[in-house]
């Protein structure tokens, strides 16, 4: 990307870094090459940071302070699933409307054991489980890992689902949103290993109560907000995850209240969109692009 920024700058094309952030684990590396990265950041027409901490980090790495503003996270833009997404996915997968489903979303390979450990208790209580790998390429290893722990697994790409399947590995691209929409409880991966968590916004917007692990530095603001309205949503261990699932699956009213609180805690997506339009409108109009707020 430094080459892209340089070529655009040389041609007089403004480049903005939007929804800007620097992953915490990358900060030391960027600081080590600040003399090389700073000229690239200074060529940006603007840095539209997710929050004040990110704005400060970009300035420390060499971006021009007057071009760095807090605009918000574009992942907060309204993007709710269609009202019939959940029922349609249940019908496709042969799941009855009253059956309970737990979706483990964006699970990394090193979190397979966490999922496998809680599977037996879930299956014994009649709960169906969908496991969506973060990377489809790791699905084979994930299936093998679950099978070694005794799980009977069906892969989505295998075709027609077998009757009364219990564990499904969602090894497709683009179906996780529908899976979240059909779920009773969602567990967001990435936070039970070394990956800093994954985006929890999709299941929250689907109106599903969300559980997440102890490590969430990549989405620290989002997880902090969700934990503030439902502290029990953050679990510190596999044992705590299993216990929380058991509690939530057995209490429909509590699930409803948690899901409502988490959804209402989301940032105002319309306000975020308006801020971005206000900042970018003058530049877009220079290019002949009409902007309506």
pLDDT at 67 over 90: yes
If pLDDT is split at 50, 70 and 90, which confidence band does 290 have?
confident
- On whether residue 292 sits in a domain, the answer given is no
Domain with 56 in it? 2-73+268-286
- CA 42 to CA 9: how far, in whole Å? 10
How does pLDDT run across 124-139, given as a tens digit for each residue? Answer: 899 999 999 999 899 9
- On whether residue 217 sits in a domain, the answer given is yes
Q: Are residues 202 and 282 in the same domain?
A: no
Tell me, what CATH number does 172's domain have? 3.40.50.2000
- CA 191 to CA 217: how far, in whole Å? 9
Q: What would the two tokens of residue 209 be?
A: 């109560």
Q: Are residues 108 and 252 in the same domain?
A: yes
How does pLDDT run across 171-221, given as a tens digit for each residue? Answer: 999 999 999 999 999 999 999 998 999 999 999 999 999 999 999 988 888
- On whether residue 132 sits in a domain, the answer given is yes
Give the pTM: 0.87
Please count the CA atoms within 13 angstroms of the CA of 191 that sit on its side-chain side. Answer: 28
Across the range 111-120, mean pLDDT stands at 95
- On whether residue 225 sits in a domain, the answer given is yes
- On whether residue 291 sits in a domain, the answer given is no
DSSP 45-68: SEEEESSHHHHHHHHHTT--GGGE
SS3 102: strand
Q: Are residues 169 and 250 in the same domain?
A: yes
Q: Are residues 245 and 280 in the same domain?
A: no
Is 291:281 a contact under the CB 8 Å cutoff? Answer: yes
- On whether residue 240 sits in a domain, the answer given is yes
- CA 127 to CA 5: how far, in whole Å? 50
If pLDDT is split at 50, 70 and 90, which confidence band does 293 have?
low
Tokens 């990307």 belong to residue: 1
């Amino acid at each position: 990307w430094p080459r892209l920024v340089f070529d655009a700058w040389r041609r007089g094309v403004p480049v903005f870094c939007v929804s800007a952030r620097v992953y915490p684990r990358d900060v030391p590396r960027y600081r080590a090459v600040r003399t090389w990265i700073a000229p690239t950041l200074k060529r940006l027409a603007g840095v539209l940071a997710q929050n004040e901490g990110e704005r400060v980090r970009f300035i420390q790495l060499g971006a021009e302070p007057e071009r760095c503003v807090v605009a918000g996270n574009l992942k907060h833009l309204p993007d709710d699933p269609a009202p019939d997404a959940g029922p349609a996915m249940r019908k496709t997968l042969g799941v009855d409307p009253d059956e309970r489903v737990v979706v483990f979303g964006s699970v990394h390979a090193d979190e397979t054991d966490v999922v496998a450990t809680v599977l037996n208790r879930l299956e014994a209580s009649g709960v169906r489980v969908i496991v969506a790998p973060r990377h489809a390429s790791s699905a084979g290893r994930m299936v093998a890992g679950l099978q070694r722990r005794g799980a009977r697994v069906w892969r989505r790409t295998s075709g027609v689902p077998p009757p009364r399947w219990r564990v499904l590995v969602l090894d497709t691209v683009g179906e996780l949103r529908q899976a979240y929409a059909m779920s009773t409880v969602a567990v967001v991966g990435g936070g039970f290993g070394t990956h800093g968590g994954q985006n929890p916004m999709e299941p929250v917007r689907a109106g599903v109560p969300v559980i997440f692990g102890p490590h969430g530095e990549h989405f620290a603001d989002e997880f902090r907000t969700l934990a503030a309205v439902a502290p029990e949503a953050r679990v510190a261990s596999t044992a705590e995850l299993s216990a929380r699932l058991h509690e939530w699956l057995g209490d429909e009213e509590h699930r409803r209240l948690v899901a409502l609180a988490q959804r209402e805690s989301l940032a105002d997506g319309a306000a975020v969109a308006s801020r971005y339009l206000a900042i970018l409108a003058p530049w877009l109009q220079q290019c002949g692009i009409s902007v309506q707020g």
